[in-house]
Amino acid sequence: MNNHQNLNEDLLALILAIRSHLEFYQQLGLTHIEPTSLASNKLLDVSSLDTKKLDDLKSETLEDMTKKITPSTDQLSLFETEENNQIPLSLPSSKKASSIKRSLGKLTLPEIRSEVGHCCQLCNQATNVVFGEGNSSAELMFIGEAPGAEEDATGRPFVGAAGRLLDKIIAAIGLKREDVYITNVVKCRPPNNRKPTNDEMESCEPFLFNEIEVVKPKLIVTLGATPLTSLLNVKEGITKTRGQFYDFNGIPVMPTFHPAFLLRVPEKKREVWEDMKKVMTKLQEIRKGNK
Ligand code: URA
């Protein structure tokens, strides 16, 4: 392949990646990007973006291309930020006690992983145990409910359609999948993707609590209602809880909608973006040592 072809391919990749990101911002409900983030003085009108013109371009490579490009945190901080709506909730004493009691002690992530296969009866039927993955000292941890079919087949969390959307959410806040730690409350797939039972969740919680103890994230994002119930025994629905910070053993927790829900109700992406802006602001505050 000559240099000219390489250049053309790089250019095509860049165009596809930009298109994908602009479409994603569109879906998030953004209408304009401030001129200070652009070379030109004009507002970039994202809402009227004519993506059709680009439709001739091969779209099967979109996901791969998108992974290569992430907006910088500076760029994202140009979007209006809102006051954090922090509702400090202390950990119920029953949870505190149980999380300490069920701590597995000072284990490494591979050691915790090696214990998982025996956690609950779901693991007897699973193809693979799906343990957390990512940066073992990540600032940001995402917690989902339980593996689905693709996760069960591959042994990796969030690799199906919901996972691809989660990758985009992570990219929108200026991070890569490898920068964060991604895990689930339950480590084996429930049959037909049913919600895990309380017993199954309780059996798996020690692994989750220990992952948190080892990774020591500065901030946790819980996806959907299940992980918030697991961490803090909060029983309210995600529509009520999302968008406000909770506290798990001193770690701020931001509940937001599960990406699988966003695939069914895409207009809720805007609210997830609001939540992610709060996450970015809070992380910046924590890094500066303010919180
Ligand atoms: N949904 C989850 O909650 N976790 C996964 O790993 C995949 C889908």
Residue 219 CA to ligand 1 center (angstroms) comes to 19
Q: Return the structure tokens found at 132.
A: 């957390």
Q: 34 falls in which pLDDT band (50, 70, 90)? A: very low
Return the higher-pLDDT residue of 68 and 291: 291
User: What value does the mean pLDDT take over residues 18-30?
Assistant: 62
> What is the C-alpha separation between 116 and 45, in angstroms, rounded?
49
Ligand 1 atom closest to Cα of residue 162? 8
Domain ranges for the chain: 2-77, 93-290
Q: Report pLDDT for 18.
A: 67
Contact 136, 112 (CB under 8 A): no
Q: Is 202 a residue whose pLDDT tops 80?
A: yes
pLDDT at 5 over 80: no
**Lowest-confidence region among 30-39, 110-119, 209-218:** 30-39
- Of 36-50, 155-169, 237-251, the range with the lowest mean pLDDT is 36-50
**Which of 184, 200, 211 maximizes ligand 1 atoms within 8 Å of its Cβ, making it the mutation to test the pocket?**
184
Mean pLDDT score of the chain: 78
pLDDT at 11: 74
Q: How far is the CA of 220 from the centre of ligand 1 (A)?
A: 16
DSSP class of 197: P
The proportion of the chain whose per-residue pLDDT surpasses 70, expressed as a percent, equals: 65
Q: What is the mean pLDDT of residues 139-164?
A: 98
Would strands 181-184 and 140-144 be described as parallel, antiparallel, or unpaired?
Answer: parallel
Question: For the stretch 3-17, what's the b/e string if a residue is b when 16 or more beta carbons lie within 10 angstroms of its beta carbon?
Answer: eeeeeeeeeebeebb
> Ligand 1, closest atom to CA 158?
6
Please list, in sequence order, all residues whose beta carbon lies within 8 angstroms of the beta carbon of residue 73, skipping any fewer than 6 positions away: 173, 174, 280, 284
Tokens (6 digits) for 16 = 């596809």
Closest atom, ligand 1, to C-alpha of 182: 6
Cα(45) to centroid(ligand 1), Å: 34
Give the distance (Å) from ligand 1 centre to CA of residue 247: 23
* pLDDT for 17: 63
Of 50-54, 166-170, 258-262, where does mean pLDDT reach its minimum? 50-54
Q: Which atom of ligand 1 is nearest to the CA of 144?
A: 3
Distance 146 CA to ligand 1 centre (A): 5
Measured in angstroms, how far is the CA atom of residue 153 from the centroid of ligand 1? Answer: 12
Helix (H, G, I), strand (E, B) or coil at 257: coil
Which is nearest to 48 in space by CA: 69, 30, 63? 30
Ligand 1 atom with the smallest distance to the CA of 157 is 6
- The helices-and-strands tally (H runs, E runs) of the chain is 13, 8
Q: Let me know: does 259 contact 169? Beta carbons within 8 Å.
A: yes
Pocket of ligand 1 (CB under 6 A): 144-148, 151, 157-158, 160, 162-163, 184, 260
Query: Is the separation of the CB atoms in 253 and 89 below 8 Å?
Result: no
Answer whether residue 69 shows pLDDT above 70.
no
* Burial status of residue 106 (CB atoms within 10 A of its CB: 0-12, 13-18, 19 or more): exposed
> What are the distances in angstroms from CA 160 to CA 167, 173, 175, 176, 212?
11, 20, 19, 17, 24
pLDDT one-digit tens code per residue, 88-128: 233 333 343 344 335 556 789 999 998 887 778 899 999 99
pLDDT, position 273: 97
| pTM value surpassing 0.75 | no
CA of 223 to the centre of ligand 1 (A): 9
**How many A from CA of 193 to the centre of ligand 1?**
9
For residue 184, give the ligand 1 atom closest to its CA: 4
Evaluate whether 176 touches 170 at the Cβ level (below 8 Å).
yes
2, pLDDT greater than 80: no
Q: How far apart are the C-alpha atoms of 250 and 231, rounded to whole Å?
A: 12
Span of 11-15, 191-195, 215-219 with lowest mean pLDDT:
11-15
- Which one of 141, 158, 170, 195 would you pick to mutate in the ligand 1 pocket, going by the greatest count of ligand atoms within 8 A of its CB? 158
CATH number of 93-290: 3.40.470.10
- % pLDDT > 90, the chain: 58
For residue 38, pLDDT beyond 60: no
Q: Give the pLDDT band of residue 31 (cuts 50, 70, 90).
A: low
| pLDDT at residue 269 in the model | 97
The first and second tokens of residue 159, run together, are 């690799």
The residue type at 140? L
